[in-house]
Structure formats: C-alpha cells, structure tokens
C-alpha cells in the first residue's frame, strides 16, 4: 500500500479516494495523433498537463479506475485492445505500441465485456503512461442518467483499497463557428462557470459539478457530465476528517471549438 493511501487506511479503518485527475475526452491526448498541426501549442499543452495530473493522482493509489463517458453504464471487463479505432485512427498511426489488457471488475457497475470508446482508451493510456500496472487498472464507462445512480457508482469506488480516479470528459463542443458541432451561444458562459468554480475551492467545485444541468450539458455536447457525477459521489463518500483539497486547474482551453480542462483533485491524507 502506497504512502498516502496507507495513511488513509490506518486512520479510518477503510480505504478512501486519494485523488482524481480530470482529463479531456479527446483522441489528441493519444501519442501519435497529431490533429491538424503536431506543433499546435494547445494540444501539446493539454497532453503535458494531462500526463502531469494523472501521474500525480495515481502516485499513492493501489487501485486506479478510469471513469469515461459511454453509451451505457458498465464496468468493462475482459480483453481490451487500447487503440483508437473508435475514433477512426488505425494502430499504425499511433506513436507507441498499442497495449492489450485484460480488465477485471470493480465495485459500482455491472461487468460487461466489449470494446471501449475513445474516451475510455484515453484514460487507460494516460494511466498506463503514468506507470500504473495493468493489474491495478479498471475501467468504468458511464452514460447520462439519474444523478443518484451515478453518484452511487462513485461512492462504491473507494471500497477495499486506496483508489485514484482518472475522470475523462470535456466541456461543450459548440464554441463558435469552427466547433465540431453547431455553435451554441450558451457554451462560453457554461464552460467558464465550471472552470471558475474549479478554481474557487473544493466546496464550490463540488457544487458546480453536482449542480450542472443534465439537459443543458446534453444540448452543449459536454461529455464530462456523467463522469463528473461519479466523481461527486466519490467525494461525498469521503469519511469525516478526510476533506478534498482545492482542485488544481493545470490547463483550461477552448481548442477548435471544444472546451477541455485538466484538473488535479487530491484528498487530504
């Protein structure tokens, strides 16, 4: 059991969430996916920030759970090929060998085999690149639904061993005429409020994620909404005396019309 995780277990008699890294839901975080320009500073900075946040989040965890958007809520189990075919990127274009994993179940969602989506692969590859061993790595895909159910998933994730989350999701994909989807005038204010709350301390950050309207998030094509509700459930399940620290926003950008942020959220040991 790793340092901070050991302290949590000894203090409370059970394991708890030790940290979460919030990373963007974009294939551009994968090695070798250059996008329109391999030297564009925005995706380069996002990749570096995501690598830093993930490495710091997983450093003291015995279990790492990737929480990513998906078409249904499930724990992905069985063989997984962590390539980007779902985004139309063949393996040979990626800048590193594509790993093959065998994933086991984790509390909170039914185990269902099957190929993961792009966001899930981004989270898995981020964790592996941070040095997480495959036998400590698990994957949840979550779909929008009742917040009580999503938060119950999050509350279950801290059971048994000190756990870090890699929470994959982005803000609106409707910023301006160059966005992936038709622009929506609400996008700048909506994403700006989320980032401002993440910079304003743990309480405001938690409340902003919890209070984000599911319908508006769907309208704005914000893929982070369901994974954020899982994170809220994990935070709410922390024992008394183990508060979440203020989130650290490492990067927040709107790139080609889509809002992406990288955040590290640690828990006091």
Domains, the chain: 3-266 (3.40.830.10)
pLDDT of residue 2: 55
User: Across the strands, what pairs with 20?
Assistant: 165, 265
3-state secondary structure of 45: helix
> How far apart are the two ends of the chain, measured CA to CA in Å?
14
3-state secondary structure of 200: coil
d(CA 61, CA 6): 9
pLDDT of residue 7: 47
Q: Does position 12 have pLDDT exceeding 60, yes or no?
A: no
pLDDT of residue 38: 57
CB atoms within 10 A of CB 3: 12
3-state secondary structure of 38: coil
User: Rounded to two decimals, what is the model's pTM?
Assistant: 0.91
The answer for residues whose C-beta is within 8 angstroms of residue 213's C-beta and 6 or more apart is none
pLDDT of residue 167: 99
pLDDT of residue 212: 97
User: Across the strands, what pairs with 76?
Assistant: 112
| CA nearest neighbour of 16 among 187, 163, 209 | 163
């Amino acid at each position: 059991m790793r340092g901070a995780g050991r302290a949590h277990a000894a203090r409370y008699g059970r394991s708890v969430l030790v940290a979460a890294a919030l990373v963007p839901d974009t294939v551009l975080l994968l090695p070798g996916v250059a996008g329109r320009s391999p030297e564009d500073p925005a995706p380069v900075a996002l990749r570096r920030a995501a690598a830093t946040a993930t490495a710091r989040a997983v450093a003291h965890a015995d279990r790492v759970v990737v929480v990513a958007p998906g078409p249904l809520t499930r724990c992905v189990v069985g063989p997984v090929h962590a390539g980007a075919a779902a985004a139309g990127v063949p393996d040979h274009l990626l800048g590193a060998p594509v790993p093959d994993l065998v994933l086991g179940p984790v509390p909170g969602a039914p185990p269902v085999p099957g190929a993961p989506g792009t966001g899930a692969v981004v989270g898995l590859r981020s964790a592996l690149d941070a040095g997480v061993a495959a036998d400590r790595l698990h994957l949840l895909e979550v779909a929008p639904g009742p917040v009580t159910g999503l938060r119950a998933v999050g509350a279950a994730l801290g059971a048994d061993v000190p756990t870090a989350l890699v929470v994959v999701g982005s803000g609106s994909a409707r910023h301006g005429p160059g966005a992936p989807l038709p622009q929506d005038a609400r996008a700048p204010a909506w994403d700006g409020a989320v980032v401002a709350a993440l910079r304003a301390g743990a309480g405001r950050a938690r409340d902003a994620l919890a209070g984000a309207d599911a319908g508006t998030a769907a309208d704005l094509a914000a893929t982070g909404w369901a994974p954020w509700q899982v994170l809220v459930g994990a935070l709410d399940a922390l024992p008394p005396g183990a508060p979440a620290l203020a989130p650290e926003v490492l990067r927040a950008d709107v790139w080609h019309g889509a809002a992406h942020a990288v955040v590290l959220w640690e828990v006091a040991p």
